[in-house]
Structure 1
Amino acid sequence: MVGSSEPAVFAEHLVKRFGERRVVDGVDLSVPRGAIYGVLGPNGAGKTTTLRTLLGIIEPDEGHRSILGHAAPREASDRVGYLPEERGLYPSMKARDAIAFMGALRGLDRRTGRARAAEMMEAAGLGHAIDEKIKKLSKGMAQLVQLLGSVVHRPDLLVLDEPFSGLDPVNQEKLESLILAERDRGATVLFSTHIMAHAERVCDRLAIIAGGKRRFEGTVDAARGTLPSQVRYLPTHPDAAIAEVLPHDAVRDGEGWRFQLPGEGIEGLLGTLIARGYGIGGLSIERPSLHDAFVRIVGRDAANPPGASQPNGGATA
């Protein structure tokens, strides 16, 4: 992370109501400059409304926010790239011209925009489609074109709302690479997602939102740390009495056993198991995944609401 100690994005007690419903309910955020910051949550958690409120697309009912040091977010609009959840490009426009056009909306001159568009499309493996009309591109290719249009003016802040939704695995990998490249360039990246795997791989920090409230803020490791690691143990000479030696939470797992990693470590227990003649036929210590931590933080019902997608793919939030 680089640059000023002042956060790129800051929000304090952000509230947005629609009728009687508080869709954003007292959210606090502080996104460090030069970081990749994920806003995670199930469908309907308030992620999109939070991003739109931060950007000044809609106004909060309570609280305040700042973008790149501006209390009025739109004052920083030329320094921001934004990919909304609802994608939209002019279908009859050529891909390179669409990217240049999006750059022009942020103050980039057309010639520079077209030159950068060609370079970026080549780098993204889309060089063959530079002069193709948008309507002839696949959904994934069109989505990447719109993403390139969001960064062609080289913004200081890139905001992406559910950017991975609808992309196949190859294009998801390209998007992850682009996000990392933007961070390496010095930009701050703020994105929302309900797909834990992407956040786990690229985020420096993240916030977990459910029911309009922020339930967690910190690093991926800190989120995982809300759950203990699990030990999977396979004895070489098992018998029923082994249960008296294992921790009280140990449960059968096939031919072996599974239990939480003891707070004092595993070494003493292993010594006892060997001394009693049970041996070690197999042993693994598994850290909880971000999805496991997410479910614990927001609750299983909130993590998997009726009609929602599974955590590794599916519908947008």
Structure 2
Amino acid sequence: MLELDGLTKRYGDRLALDGVSFAVGDGRLTGFVGGNGAGKTTTMRIVLGVLAADAGAVRLDGRTVTATDRRRFGYMPEERGLYPKMKVLEQTVYLARLHGWSTAAARRNATELLERLGLEERLDDTVESLSLGNQQRAQIAAALVHRPDLLILDEPFSGLDPMAVDVVQGVLADAAAQGAPVLFSSHQLDVVERICDDLVIIADGRIAAAGARDALREEHGTARWELLTGGDAGWVRDVPGVEVVGFDGGWALFEPESDASRQAVLEEAVRRGEVVSFTREQTTLAQIFKEVVQ
């Protein structure tokens, strides 16, 4: 487990991080979200040792992270950092070799990873000749090729089409399944919501919310319920203790003041005929983000 404990960082008079604390669990995908300038990149660079914190600690399995530990980390920066004139496979093998892999093992792992990321036909092309989306895939391969113990990615889904997002998601899920904590930032809240196990929201250098995705949904969830029937649902407006928020034919979105009033809606719907669905409204990550940041 990666633990961040009270990280503080100043740039002159500006407080970039103010006591940032959260954990990234072993084998879990943790989404790290916040607005521009919120402190995401600064936090990740401190974990990697690129920046030094003014206060606080970074721990791995309960002990302070060392330079030796960091050599086993994988990192993908938001700004692409590959050598543009090197060939894709050549560069990925080179990066694995820097981490101590033999040439044969590095080539085998790099080839397998690049093929999985959909670059099998571009192995001998230079990085600069790739589309931006394919450069992003190559950058992800560079972060993963040495099979890191911990993975940190800054905007890994930027520039990827939906199919490529699914491919990268699968690769990251496999890395997590093999035991690596994975911390990734993204402005694409729908993607984060779909793939993360845990969520950390940062605003103005402070952690606004952190925890398991489903637990945060429950904590910040609305009390709204959706009813879909085979007939007209206008009668819901007449149920005591119910405020109808939206209505359209057989569909109604409502807020019950109690469990009893919610149950009354369901019982009346059953009495009147076919109930297609009766569910609590799903709280989105975007809704949670707006609530805790504002």
Per the TM superposition, whether the score is higher than 0.5 is: yes
Aligned counterpart for 1:247 among listed residues 241, 244, 258: 241
Contact 2:88 2:124 (C-alpha < 8 Å) held by counterparts = yes
In structure 2, list runs of 5 or more residues that go unmatched. Answer: none
Cα gap change, 1:229 to 1:282, in 2 (>3 Å): farther
- 1:246-305 CA-to-partner distances (Å, cap 9, x unmatched) read 534323433454223555263333324666x6x667654222122222222222xxxxxx
Q: Which moved more, 1:253-262 or 1:289-298?
A: 253-262
Query: Percent same amino acid among aligned pairs?
Result: 35
Cα gap change, 1:283 to 1:261, in 2 (>3 Å): farther
CA distance in 2, matches of 1:111, 1:81: 20
1:141 aligned residue: 134
What TM-score, normalized to structure 2? 0.88
Say whether residues 1:297 and 2:292 are aligned partners. yes
Contact 1:56 1:72 (C-alpha < 8 Å) held by counterparts = no
2:226 aligned residue: 232
1:162 aligned residue: 155
1:243 counterpart SS class = helix
| Aligned-partner residue type, residue 103 of structure 1 | A
Cα gap change, 1:219 to 1:194, in 2 (>3 Å): same
1:249 counterpart SS class = strand
2:71 counterpart SS class = helix
In structure 1, list runs of 5 or more residues that go unmatched. Answer: 1-6, 300-317
Cα gap change, 1:293 to 1:176, in 2 (>3 Å): same
Say whether residues 1:46 and 2:39 are aligned partners. yes
Aligned counterpart for 1:269 among listed residues 265, 268, 285: 265
Q: Which has the higher strand share?
A: 2
Cα gap change, 1:199 to 1:252, in 2 (>3 Å): closer
Q: CA deviation at 1:189?
A: 1.0
CA distance in 1, matches of 2:204, 2:96: 35
What TM-score, normalized to structure 1? 0.82
1:199 counterpart SS class = helix
2:198 aligned residue: 205
The number of aligned residues is 289
What are the equivalent positions in structure 2 for 1:1-317 lying under 5 Å apart?
7=1, 9-67=2-60, 71-225=64-218, 226-233=220-227, 236=231, 243-255=237-249, 257-260=252-255, 263-264=258-259, 266-272=262-268, 283-285=277-279, 286-299=281-294
CA distance in 2, matches of 1:145, 1:14: 31
2:64 counterpart SS class = coil
- CA RMSD, aligned part only? 2.4
